[in-house]
Amino acid sequence: MSDTWIEVCAADDIDEEDVIRFDHAGRTFAIYRSPEDTYHATDGLCTHEKIHLADGLVMDHIIECPKHNGRFNYKTGEAKGAPVCVDLRTYPVKVEGGTVFIGI
């Protein structure tokens, strides 16, 4: 499947070890910048109760849901235990010329 690259924001719009919300074509995503300065993207809503993860806390490579503290590895989408048991879908991200793109 060939990805379509969609422009998200300037690389500097996301702080290090932080997350922002990105909406596109009726879908919502969470875009992360890791402490190692890499960029990542997942579905925006927690698989537990559809809460937006962009309000959550990024610590290292983990995003924690703001409502019930469900945790995911945002690089792989892996659910890290109760209350979440369904993994998060991830998307490819690239940074070109200081701009972040998501492949969907």
The binding site for other proteins (CB under 8 A) comprises 15, 17, 51-52, 55-57, 64, 66-69, 81-83, 85
Helix residue ranges per DSSP H, the chain: none
Give me the sign of the Cα torsion angle 27, 83, 78, 20: positive
8 A C-beta contact, residue 102 and residue 31? yes
Residue 75 buriedness (CB in 10 A; 0-12 / 13-18 / 19+) = middle
In the complex, least distance from residue 98 CB atom to other proteins, rounded to whole angstroms: 23
Q: Which of helix, strand or coil describes residue 82? A: coil
In the complex, least distance from residue 51 CB atom to other proteins, rounded to whole angstroms: 7
In the complex, least distance from residue 94 CB atom to other proteins, rounded to whole angstroms: 27
Q: Which lies closer to other proteins via its Cβ, residue 6 or residue 17?
A: 17
Q: Which lies closer to other proteins via its Cβ, residue 83 or residue 103?
A: 83
Q: Which lies closer to other proteins via its Cβ, residue 79 or residue 101?
A: 79
In the complex, least distance from residue 62 CB atom to other proteins, rounded to whole angstroms: 12
Q: Which lies closer to other proteins via its Cβ, residue 10 or residue 82?
A: 82
List the strands of the sheet with 93-96, edge to edge. Answer: 5-10, 99-103, 93-96
